[in-house]
A and B are shown apart, each in its own frame.
Chain A
Amino acid sequence: MYTQALDTAEAQSKPADTAAAARFQARIDAEQRIEPQDFMPEAYRRTLIRQISQHAHSEIVGMLPEGNWITRAPSLRRKAALLAKVQDEGGHGLYLYAAAETLGVARETLVDQLLAGAAKYSSIFNYPTLTWADIGAIGWLVDGAAIMNQIPLCRCSYGPYARAMIRICKEESFHQRQGFEIMLTLCRGTAAQKAMAQDALDRWWWPVLMMFGPPDAQSRHSQHSARWKIKRFSNDELRQKFLDATVPQAQFLGLTLPDPALAFDPETGHWRAGPIDWAEFEAVLAGNGPCNRERLEARRRAHDEGGWVREAARAHAEKRRAAKARAA
């Protein structure tokens, strides 16, 4: 996970260097990759910094809802898998911060923005994980949605971002499969276990559909991102792909999607979802989801409590450098 179309919009770049900008666009059109030292319009750089850092923050904050269940996983097998998954998400955050840094911004600056509440991260992580089935639902649906989003990003025009995404996508598929396996086990278990799986699906389904961002008609930045080949599919296109892939999986589990309007359109061969409550999405993005405050507090606490480790590491490195200098 977890890039979300939030507000990566940027104003048009100044018309100052139009010849260079035209050459830049020609390179993009020719499917060439842009590397850190290459010329790029300021708006492209800013759009990428914002998108990649939001993506990185999402990976890091995304460790919290699942981390909540590591100590309570029902078996050693599940615990080992969940631990490995959460560790992967931490790694994804670091790959992405490193990719953002190639654009000339320090990771510390980005982390400070997150901790100050000035940066966005995916809305999905502001929902609570109430039962073990939520861990199944997250892996299956949240990571499933993330994969839909991330696979096209492997061909993003910015080289370091695309390369980070390739590494991330390789690691993601186990996340989704372990989640689906948890759901399948619950659905084949007792009536109470199956009810727990259904309850998790009921709570996660709509927030997951919102992960793809606002409908195309309302997303103001898609044009730039499409022209720059940062985003290759629109929010609605990705949401549709996800829906078509996921409905049969829910049917396989024997679960009911909490959408009475959900219907198959035989003419187009697509599943059609009922209306999404975008007011809820806006509220969560604005900081008023069920867990926004708790998530930021947890990040701040972790950052503060890790401060002595960073300090000690730096002091130790400094001491060793000094000793080496004396010996020389």
Chain B
Amino acid sequence: MSADLSPLWEVFIRSRNGLAHRHAGSLHAADAEMALQAARDLFTRRGEAASLWVVPAAAIIASDPDEAGMLFEPTGSKIYRHPTFYEVPEDVGHM
């Protein structure tokens, strides 16, 4: 009935000037221009956006969830990367 699969796009919204774009969701559209128009209709009906990005979903390279442990766990033990690891006497004041 409907063999017309159109590409998937990921939508990112900057809600206010000065903020970063954040992922809002995804949609199907034949091309970038239509993706932008659809994103505007679908995700910004109540003044949610100051700017929109659409990115072909196929262009996103994601880390492998099976490698999440290998990639991200080693930092768990590196507490010396945080300021609270270091002792500064109270008399020194705020540092």
Contact = CB atoms under 8 A, between A and B. Distances in A.
Interface string A106-128: 11100110011000000000000
B40 to A, nearest CB: 12
Interface stretch (A7-15, A278-286, A309-317): A309-317
A88 interface: yes
Contacts, number: 59
Q: How large is the interface on B (under 10, 10 to 19, 20 to 34, 35 or more residues)?
A: 20 to 34
Contacts of B25: 95, 98, 163-164, 167
Given A37-B65, A98-B26, A164-B25, A317 B4 contact: no
Contacts of A88: 45
B65 A35 contact: yes
Interface string A58-100: 0000000000000000000000000010011001001100100
B21 interface: no
A167 B22 CA distance: 14
Contacts of A98: 25-27
Given A37-B65, A167-B25, A115 B4 contact: no
A265 interface: no
B49 interface: no
B2 interface: yes
A108 B27 contact: no
Nearest to A115: B1
Interface residue SS majority, chain B: loop
A87 B31 contact: no
A87 B6 CA distance: 22
Nearest to A303: B2
> Which of A107, A115, A171 has its CB near the most chain B CB atoms (within 10 A)?
A107
B79 interface: no
A193 B39 CA distance: 40
A38 interface: yes
Given A115-B1, A164-B25, A94 B6 contact: no
B28 A317 contact: no
B28 A314 contact: no
A320 interface: yes
A134 interface: no
A268 B79 CA distance: 53
B36 interface: no
Nearest to A306: B2
A88 B44 CA distance: 11
A101 interface: yes
Interface string A290-328: 000000000000010000001101101100100000000
B13 to A, nearest CB: 11
Contacts of A38: 65
A264 B3 CA distance: 55
B58 interface: no
A101 B8 contact: yes
24 contacts: A35-B65, A37-B65, A84-B45, A91-B41, A91-B42, A94-B42, A95-B25, A95-B42, A101-B8, A107-B28, A108-B4, A112-B1, A112-B2, A115-B1, A116-B1, A171-B45, A171-B46, A313-B6, A313-B29, A313-B30, A314-B4, A316-B31, A317-B30, A320-B31
Given A164-B25, A313-B29, 16 more contacts: A88-B45, A94-B27, A101-B8, A106-B5, A107-B28, A108-B2, A111-B1, A112-B2, A163-B25, A171-B45, A303-B2, A310-B6, A313-B31, A314-B4, A317-B30, A320-B31
Interface of A: 35, 37-38, 84, 87-88, 91, 94-95, 98, 101, 106-108, 111-112, 115-116, 163-164, 167, 171, 303, 310-311, 313-314, 316-317, 320
